Amino acid sequence: MNFERLGQQLNQQRTNDLYRVRTAVNGGNQRQLTSGEKSFLNFSSNDYLGLACDEQVKLGAIDAVNKYGAGCGGSPLVTGHSRLAKYLEDLIKDLTGQSGVMLYTSGFAANSGVISSLLTKDDYLVQDKLNHASLMNAGSDSAVKMQRFAHNDMASLAKQLQSKTSINASDRLVVTEGVFSMDGDGAPLAEISQLCRNHHAWLMVDDAHGFGINGGGAGSCAQANITPDILMATFGKAIGTSGAFVAADKEVIDYLVNFCRHYIYSTSLSPMIIGATMTSIELAQQPCRHQKLAELIGYFRDRASQLGLAIMPSSSAIQPLIIGDSHRAIAIANRLKEQGIWLTAIRPPTVAVGSARLRITLSTNHQESDIDRLLTALAEAVNDTQSSDYNDR
């Protein structure tokens, strides 16, 4: 039989507790989700501001679909660049202070597209070690010379920028996330921006997890008071919809419109998504939402430390508890599931080997009593599954 390795590799995944399955759920974007007949308190959604099911956001989608239909009818250079899409781009221009913006159907496509179309074999790409898979893949799949710097380590970044390869390169691009998706900590954006300027390198920030929350909703760069050369953010996290944007100088956007194949050869975002996203971006700027999230984060961290849970240092909605071993992480997640709590274990290769974790995400949909329930169950499960019973891998 051909392709026998497929089955072999799947078996290997099962043996290592790394096998992935998709579970059909209802309410993955809500406080409470259901799977089969059972209902679970949801601590794994990226809908940090509770906007995915907001009535006004839904009306934004309904209004757009009534006016413009369900799909956009084409790719952006044919018929897909609608007036509605342009309104959204203009809204983001105002919010980010950039002179050009373009929309993508996903953050993965945006990251892959930007890096693969902008960089050549003569250039040098430097990425934070913990950058998202879409950024890493884009770099390793293209001809550009890529290096990684130690996470948030400015000395390591400076060393990369001073290297012979960097000095000999035509152009240099440094890429970091604004808020790191699996650790929840923020990048020192002002320092990175300064280093880039000192070394004549461009800076790209992927603010998937900061846009809508930090900087009054404008994102982590606004908060750090920097304007990166390229800003990417997704709508699928705090904004509660899907898709992404790239914001940059107009000439960069014009270049991408002409040369980025991920953009040119893909059907544009649907009017439904754009309508919902426009409403959502407005709502995401309401200070009361940020305040509620900040209060829940503070409450969570205080309670977790009272219970002796070593949550990673993070002031964002992403609050990871490192478990280390994948088997143990799964065992804890299963224990929580038995108690009606949905908290997905994150395992390699999404995170480094030996750093499997429970990535707790908080949302304004949560109540303090939900956090109490989670943390009590989590502390028990951690105590009952001793690390010595598992092989660190």
Ligand X SMILES: Cc1ncc(COP(=O)(O)O)c(C=O)c1O
Residue 388 DSSP symbol? G
Nearer to ligand X, 76 or 184 (CB): 184
- Residues 203-242 interacting with ligand X (rule: CB under 6 A): 206, 208, 234, 236
Residue closer to ligand X (CB basis): 236 or 320 = 236
User: Taking the alpha carbons of 230, 235, 237, 239 in that order, is the dihedral positive or negative?
Assistant: positive
Distance from C-alpha of 210 to C-alpha of 215, rounded to nearest angstrom: 8
The tokens of 155 are what? 């000395």
Any catalytic annotation for residue 200?
no
Q: 123 an active-site residue?
A: no
Is there binding between residue 138 and ligand X (CB under 6 A)?
Answer: no
Per-residue contact string for residues 53-92; x = within reach of ligand X by CB under 6 A: ----------------------------------------
Amino acid at 162: Q
Contact with ligand X (CB under 6 A) among 31, 132, 172, 262: 132
Residue 244 interacting with ligand X (CB under 6 A): yes
Instruction: Tell me how many residues contact ligand X (CB under 6 A).
Output: 13
Among 42, 82, 166, 181, indicate the residue that binds ligand X (CB under 6 A).
181
Active-site residue, selected from the candidate residues 206, 207, 229, 325:
206
Alpha-carbon gap, residue 249 to 231, rounded angstroms: 10
> Is 111 exposed, middle or buried, given 0-12, 13-18 or 19+ CB atoms closer than 10 A?
buried
Closest CA to 71 of 55, 56, 59, 84: 84
Looking up tokens 């290997």, which residue turns up? 12
Which residue number, 138 or 377, has a Cβ lying nearer to ligand X? Answer: 138
The whole-angstrom separation of Cα 220 and Cα 190 is: 10
Q: Which is nearer to ligand X, 278 or 309 (CB)?
A: 278
* Residue 107 binds to ligand X (criterion: CB under 6 A): yes
Sequence-separated (6 or more) residues with CB below 8 Å from residue 15: none
Return the range that interacts with ligand X (CB under 6 A); candidates 5-13, 78-86, 102-110, 331-339.
102-110
Residue nearest to ligand X (CB): 107
Helix residue ranges, H only, 307-367: 326-338
Q: Is 17 in the site for ligand X (CB under 6 A)?
A: no
Instruction: Give the active site residue among 42, 46, 131, 220.
Output: 46
Termini Cα distance of the chain: 32
Q: Which is nearer to ligand X, 184 or 275 (CB)?
A: 184
| Widest distance between CA atoms in the chain | 61
Annotated catalytic, 206?
Answer: yes
Rounded Cα gap, residues 31 and 118, in angstroms:
40
Q: Measured between alpha carbons, how far is 127 from 221 in angstroms, rounded to an integer? A: 17
User: Which of 40, 48, 68, 108: binder of ligand X (CB under 6 A)?
Assistant: 108
209 carries an active-site annotation? yes
Is 366 marked active-site? no
Kindly list the residues in this chain that would bind ligand X in the complex (CB under 6 A).
106-108, 111, 132, 134, 177, 181, 206, 208, 234, 236, 244
- The catalytic residues are 46, 132, 177, 181, 206, 209, 237
